[in-house]
Amino acid sequence: MTQTQSTTMPFTVPSGTDLYDALMFGIEPDLVTVRLPLLEQKYRGESPEEHAARMERYQRAYEEYDRKALEWMAKFRMLVTAYRKEALSRAESREQSKEATLLADIESQLSHSS
């Protein structure tokens, strides 16, 4: 989530690609979506040993990505929950204010009719 988050306003949810790239770029830039089609050409002359080492590196990168994605989802879930609670609280406050105004009007009418 690149934008400053506030529970007072709805927030923008990144696309799956944007989220993947944002998380993966900090882990293994080779594996961001725009670079994936270029890997075969980039590593064309690598030895079998270099290829195996790169595949191990990629495996570790995906394991780290999975951890980071779970962390991101947990934070996002907390934001959604907080926003939901705040929206409900605002709605309840507005309703209470309307009720208080209505009661005051009724009391005013009753006191003037006596």
Q: What pLDDT is recorded for position 8?
A: 52
Give yes or no for a contact between 23 and 69, defined as CB atoms under 8 angstroms apart. yes
**Which pTM does this prediction carry?**
0.67
Phi-psi region of 83 (alpha: psi -120 to 50; beta: other; left: phi over 0): alpha
Q: What pLDDT is recorded for position 47?
A: 97
Mean pLDDT by 10 residues, the chain (114 residues): 49 89 97 97 97 98 98 91 85 81 81 74
Domain boundaries, the chain: 16-113
Q: What pLDDT is recorded for position 100?
A: 77
